[in-house]
Structure 1
Amino acid sequence: MDTIDLLERCYPGRRAELKRDILRRALACFNEQGIEATTIEMIRAACDTSVGAIYHHFGNKEGLVAALFFAALDDQAGLRERYMSDAQTLEQGVQALVHSYVDWVDAQPEWARFQFQARYAVAKGPFAEELASRNKARNRQLREWLTAHTRADELPRIPAELLPSLIVGQAENYCRAWLSGRVQSSPSTYRQELAEAAWRSIGAHQ
């Protein structure tokens, strides 16, 4: 998977070609210069289009950041759902969540790098409500899946909002270290170890 594949999944068709090009160039600018330092003029020059075209499609820089951030979230969610569809038990579900997270970051490092730096900007910006709504929906779906695939007494009484951190937190920490160059081995190298650690995070309470 590469950047173009992800954008084509989120914005398919020939009519969205300019939108994909703007997003692709914006992603590179944000990752190279940082979100705060990047200007609309930098993005305009990179994609050789007009400022008007950028504003027409995305409104402003905050809209561009949010469009990229939500495209990454949607693509990540799609992979997670495919992995979860094959899981039949609680342990398999936990491992599927970690495997999908690790494999997505490993396949999409530029998107993952942007996602980490953009999260705060989106959470504090005009799209904060949409992000909060998506997070609540994800947490609810996760809890519902886990409840549906376990015995009544098997799932620990862990708050739904805490589950993602317990399950994916260790993998996220390692992925951040890899993306910043603090460790050399790709996340996929340790996908099974990270999945087993996640299982112990909630399985130890049983």
Structure 2
Amino acid sequence: MENLDLLERCYPGRRAELKRAILAQALSSFNEHGIEATTIETIRAECDTSVGAIYHHFGNKEGLVAALFFAALEDQAALRERYLSAARTLKDGVQALVYSYVDWVDEQPQWARFQFQARFVVAQGPHAAELATRNKVRNRQLREWLSEPAHADGLKAIPAELLLSLIVGQAENYCRAWLSGRVQSRPATFRSELAEAAWRSLQI
């Protein structure tokens, strides 16, 4: 099961079994009803646990949203790191960033759907500082790779704040369209075309 596979990677072991069950149901409820409309009671009833257990593990609904969002981010980053570690040239790196993004969304659509709706909620909520800290740690490998002279020289004409939008912007746009049902072909169908478009966008 897609949801449990990711949760088992982030929360392994038997002692985390209840936590995984709560998070799996929360993910399903948030995607089905929306974050705002979903209540702790909704989640409790569906996963057959107590409100006390949910509050013990996650504090409140915002804690549940943040836990899911951080799990998605970390899993996505782990895939990106594996792809990027094999990249040797700048073009390889651009391809790795696009492929890892597209492949993760293609393999984890429920998580990706939640991630899109939760990003603003977490960034504006009580876990915003934790998100900023996690992002710095999560993106360290990417920053180091991009700052290597062999790669940085090819990117020096591009403003730093624009770089990731140029690389993954088109892939993100297609993935959003797929997740919302506006297009039918899975993102991985066009991973090569999206990577090539990203590379061309850097040739300025």
TM-score tier by shorter-chain length is: over 0.9
Runs of 4 or more above 6 Å deviation:
none
Q: Could you tell me which residue of structure 2 aligns to residue 15 of structure 1?
A: 15
Q: Could you tell me which residue of structure 2 aligns to residue 86 of structure 1?
A: 86
CA distance in 2, matches of 1:76, 1:161: 21
Q: Could you tell me which residue of structure 2 aligns to residue 27 of structure 1?
A: 27
Gaps spanning 5+ residues in structure 2: where? none
CA distance in 2, matches of 1:10, 1:151: 32
Partner SS for 2:183: coil
How far residue 169 of structure 1 moved from its aligned partner, in angstroms, is: 0.8
Residues 175-184 or 158-167, more deviating: 158-167
Q: Under a length normalisation based on structure 1, what TM-score does the superposition of the two structures give?
A: 0.94
Q: Could you tell me which residue of structure 2 aligns to residue 121 of structure 1?
A: 121
CA distance in 2, matches of 1:7, 1:22: 10
CA RMSD of aligned residues (A): 1.6
Residues 130-139 or 70-79, more deviating: 130-139
CA distance in 2, matches of 1:160, 1:28: 36
CA distance in 1, matches of 2:106, 2:3: 13
How many residues are treated as equivalent by the alignment? 204
Any residues of structure 2 matched to 1:36-47 within 5 Å, and which?
36-47=36-47
Q: Under a length normalisation based on structure 2, what TM-score does the superposition of the two structures give?
A: 0.95
CA distance in 1, matches of 2:85, 2:55: 39
Q: Deviations over 1:143-163 (max 9, x none)?
A: 320232626632234343332
Cα gap change, 1:163/1:135 in structure 2, threshold over 3 Å: closer, same or farther?
Answer: farther
Gaps spanning 5+ residues in structure 1: where? none
Confirm or deny that 1:196 pairs with 2:196. Answer: yes
Q: Deviations over 1:5-45 (max 9, x none)?
A: 10000000000000000000000000000000000000000
CA distance in 2, matches of 1:74, 1:89: 25
Cα gap change, 1:152/1:64 in structure 2, threshold over 3 Å: closer, same or farther?
Answer: closer
Cα gap change, 1:160/1:48 in structure 2, threshold over 3 Å: closer, same or farther?
Answer: same
